[in-house]
Structure 1
Amino acid sequence: MEFQIIFIMLCGLAFLAGAPLNSYVLFVASCRVERTASALLFLNRALSDLIFNVCLPLRIVFIYFLHVDWARRLSSTITSLHMFSSAFLLTAISVHRCVLAARPEWAQKGLMASLAFWVGLLIWALSAGFSLRYGDLCEALIPSTNTSRNFRVSPKKIETTVAIQFLVGFLIPLALSLIPTFGIVLAARQGRNRLIQATQPLKILLGLIPTFFICWLPYHVFYFLQLSATHPPHSLEKGSAFASVLTYNNSCLNPIFYLTMEEEFLRYQQRARNPHTADHLLLELAD
C-alpha cells in the first residue's frame, strides 16, 4: 500500500509538472517562433510529450483502481508511441543540426521547413505503426498485481517485442543521434560555422540526448530482467514501476531545455532581421 501511494504521488508530480510546461512550449512554438525546420521538429516532440503526460491520469485511474484491461493496452500503446516518436524526432533533430553545419547555404533557402513537415508526418506514421503492432505486448510482460490477466501473449512474441522496442526505439536512434552531434561538436571546437552555432544552439541537443538515455535506459533494462526471471520477484515489479515514472520525468525535463533556449533564439531572430547584424553574421560564417 505504501508503494502504491509513493508511485501515485510521483506520477501526480510528473503530470502537474509536465502537462503545463509542454502546453506552454506548444504555445510558444505555434505563436511566437517562426516556422523553421527546428521549430517544427521541436513542436512535434513537445506534442509527443504532452500526449504522454495527459494520458498519465488514465494509467493511474483505469489501471490501478478500476483494473480495466483495454485501458492498460491503450496506456501501453501510448507509451510505445511516445518512445518511438521521441527517439525518431531526436534523430531527426540531430541530423538537421548536422545539415545546418555542413550545408548552411542550402539549409537557409527555406527548403528545410517543408521537408521537416513531411519528416514529422513520416515519424508519426512509423511510430503509430510500431505502437499498434507491439504496444499491448510489453505490458503483458510486467503485469500489475492489481490488474486482471484476460489476455495472454506467447513468450516468443514478448521476447521479439522487447528486442524491437530496445533496438528500434532506443539503441539505434540514440547511436544515430550521437554520430552527427559529435561531428557538430568537432566543427564547433575548430571555430567553424559560427552562424550555425548562433541560430541553432548546441546546448539543447547536448541536454536532450543524455536525458533521453538516462530516463529510458532503466525502462528497457527492467524488461530484459523480467525476461530472464522465471518468477519475477515483487521488488522487480516495483523497479519496473519506478522506471516507467522516470520516462514521464523525461517528458517534464524536455520543455525545460526548450524554454531555456527560447530567449536566445528569439534574440537572434531580431538580430537576423537587422541588415547590419545579418551582414556581420554572414561575414563571420565566411571567415
Structure 2
Amino acid sequence: MEFLPIFFLVLYGLAFLAGAPLNGYVLFITGCREQRTASAMWFLNRAVSDFIFIICLPLRLTSIFIQDMEWARRLSSSINSLHMFSSAFLLTAISIDRCILAARPEWAQKCRTPCLAFWGVLITWALSLGFSSRYEFLIPPAITSMNFPLDEGGVKAAITIHFLAGFLIPLALILISIVYVLQASRLRRNRLIQANQPLKILLGLIPTFFLCWLPYHVFYFLWISATHPWPLLGIGSAFACVFTYVNSCLNPIFYLTMEEEFLRYPQCAHNPHRTDHSGSETVV
C-alpha cells in the first residue's frame, strides 16, 4: 500500500496535464470566438466550471499529501462541491432551456435572450455557492487521515443532501427534459431539433457527468455506513475522486470534436426559412 500515494499522484498529474490545456482552449473558443447567444452563455459557464475545477487540482494534492494544511483541505473540498453543484445545475438549466425551445419556440424566439440567460447563470452560481459552502469536510478519506472530528448525524444528513441536490434531482429533471425534446422531435418530424448541435453536445456531457460522479456518491454512502473495511473504502474513494477529474478532461472533447459546427450554429438565425424549433436564436 505504500506505493498508493505515488500512484494517485501520477493519476492526478496526468489529469491536470491533460485537462488544464484542453479546458483552457475550450474556455477560449466559447468565450472569445462564439457570438453572444443564450446557448453560448450557458456553455461558457459550463466551461468555466470545468476550468476552475481542473486548475485547482494542485490544491487537492496539497490537501492530501500535506495533512497539516487544514485550510487547503477545506478550500479544496469546497471547490470540489462547487464544481459538482454548478455542473449539475448548469446541465439541468441547459436541458430545461432545450425543453422550452421545443415546447414554446415562438416565446423562445422573442424572449430567450443572452440577458435572460445571464441572470439565469447568476442564479445558478448563487445556488451552487450556497450548497457548496456547507460541505468543506467532504474530502474523500483516501490516503488521508480520518481522525478529524465530525458530527456523525450531520455528516450523514449532509451527504444525503449532497447526493439528492447534486445528483439525483438534477438527473431526474434532465432526463424528463431530454425525453420531451426527443419526443417532440420525433412527433413533429423536425430535423432541426435532431440536428441541433448544442443538443448533441449536451447528450455527450450528461452521461459522462453522471457516470463519472456516481462512484463519488456511492463511496461516500459506503463511508458513512461503517460496515465496510476502511482501507478499501479509502482506495475506492480515491479512484472515485480521480473519475471526477476525468470527467472534466472528457468534457472538452465534446466541444472540440464538434467545434466547427458549434461555431457555425448561431448563423442559422440569419436564415429566414428556418424556425427557432432547433434552438436557433437571434444573435445579440
TM-score by length of structure 2 reads 0.90
Kindly indicate which of the two structures has a greater share of residues assigned to helix.
1
Cα 1:195–1:44 change in 2 (3 A) is same
RMSD: 2.2
- Superposition map of 1:61-140 within 5 A: 61-65=62-66, 67-109=68-110, 111-133=112-134, 135-139=135-139
- 2:149 alignment partner, one of 147, 152, 156: 152
Equivalent residue for 2:281?
Answer: none
1:124 and 1:7 map into 2 onto residues whose CA distance is 30
1:14 and 1:284 map into 2 onto residues whose CA distance is 38
Give the counterpart letter for 1:159 in structure 2. Answer: K
2:230 and 2:224 map into 1 onto residues whose CA distance is 12
Offset, 1:262: 2.2
- 1:281 alignment partner, one of 255, 270, 274: 274
Cα 1:41–1:107 change in 2 (3 A) is same
Equivalent residue for 1:166?
Answer: 163
Q: Is the 8 A contact 2:108 2:276 kept in 1?
A: no
1:21 and 1:221 map into 2 onto residues whose CA distance is 28
Offset, 1:235: 1.4
Offset, 1:189: 2.4
SS at match of 1:249: helix
Q: Is the 8 A contact 2:143 2:238 kept in 1?
A: no
Cα 1:283–1:66 change in 2 (3 A) is closer
Give the counterpart letter for 2:85 in structure 1. Answer: F
Offset, 1:200: 4.3
1:38 and 1:284 map into 2 onto residues whose CA distance is 14
Give the counterpart letter for 2:75 in structure 1. Answer: L
Q: Is the 8 A contact 2:219 2:237 kept in 1?
A: yes
Offset, 1:199: 4.4
Q: Does 1:242 align with 2:220?
A: no
1:216 and 1:226 map into 2 onto residues whose CA distance is 16
Equivalent residue for 2:49?
Answer: 48
What is the number of equivalent residue pairs in this alignment?
277
Offset, 1:231: 6.6
Any stretches of 5+ residues in structure 1 without a counterpart? none
1:238 and 1:282 map into 2 onto residues whose CA distance is 52
Cα 1:29–1:201 change in 2 (3 A) is closer
Offset, 1:147: 4.0
Q: Is the 8 A contact 2:88 2:170 kept in 1?
A: yes
Q: What do residues 111-162 of structure 1 show as CA deviations (whole Å, max 9, x unaligned)? A: 33212111111111111111112x22323xx53554474x421100110111
Q: Is the 8 A contact 1:87 1:169 kept in 2?
A: yes
1:224 and 1:249 map into 2 onto residues whose CA distance is 21
Give the counterpart letter for 2:234 in structure 1. Answer: E
Q: Does 1:4 align with 2:1?
A: no
Q: What do residues 45-66 of structure 1 show as CA deviations (whole Å, max 9, x unaligned)? A: 1111111101101111343146
1:243 and 1:260 map into 2 onto residues whose CA distance is 26
1:122 and 1:283 map into 2 onto residues whose CA distance is 25
Offset, 1:205: 1.7
2:182 and 2:199 map into 1 onto residues whose CA distance is 8
1:144 and 1:238 map into 2 onto residues whose CA distance is 6
- 1:266 alignment partner, one of 255, 258, 263: 263
Offset, 1:230: 4.9
TM-score by length of structure 1 reads 0.89
2:276 and 2:90 map into 1 onto residues whose CA distance is 32
Offset, 1:169: 0.5
Q: Is the 8 A contact 1:26 1:46 kept in 2?
A: yes
Q: Is the 8 A contact 2:156 2:224 kept in 1?
A: yes
1:213 and 1:146 map into 2 onto residues whose CA distance is 26
1:197 and 1:153 map into 2 onto residues whose CA distance is 49
Q: Is the 8 A contact 2:64 2:143 kept in 1?
A: no
Offset, 1:14: 1.0
